[in-house]
Amino acid sequence: MADCYTELEKAVVVLVENFYKYVSKHSLVKNKISKSSFRKMLQRELNHMLTDTGNRKAADKLIQNLDANHDGRICFDEYWTMIGGITSPMANLIRQQECQQESQQECQQESQQESQQESQQGSS
């Protein structure tokens, strides 16, 4: 990955690399993921997110649709659309979690600064 890449570009590379990580090694099926591998990927790679956001049901439904006929394969565009389909309902929730984390970190920093100041005043 080019060092000069932006955060978004690095994230895109991660999504691309993750696709190829699960692509079938079977030469006849170039650049496609089997449904069972896609299911394994969800369970391994999106497990926290699906659990945290209660979105497991949405993903399970997605997987069921996927598994309707066990011979289907998933190309990059379908993979991208499915990750988007899983992310979209939780985008707002992810946003709120990030905002909460940021404000918690700010509170922690403030309380650290206060205790430092108190200890400095105590020692002077």
Of the candidates 36, 65, 100, 101, which one interacts with its own copies according to CB under 8 A? 101
List residues bridging with 33 in a β-sheet.
74
Of 40, 95, 118, 119, the residue at the interface with its own copies (CB under 8 A) is 95
Candidates 67, 98, 106, 114: give the one binding its own copies (CB under 8 A): 98
Hey, what are 30's tokens? 């170039």
CA distance 14 to 37: 17
- Residue 123 phi, psi dihedral angles, 5° rounding: -80, -20
Binding interface with its own copies (CB under 8 A): 1-2, 4-20, 31, 44-49, 52, 76-77, 80-81, 83-84, 87-88, 91-92, 94-95, 97-98, 101
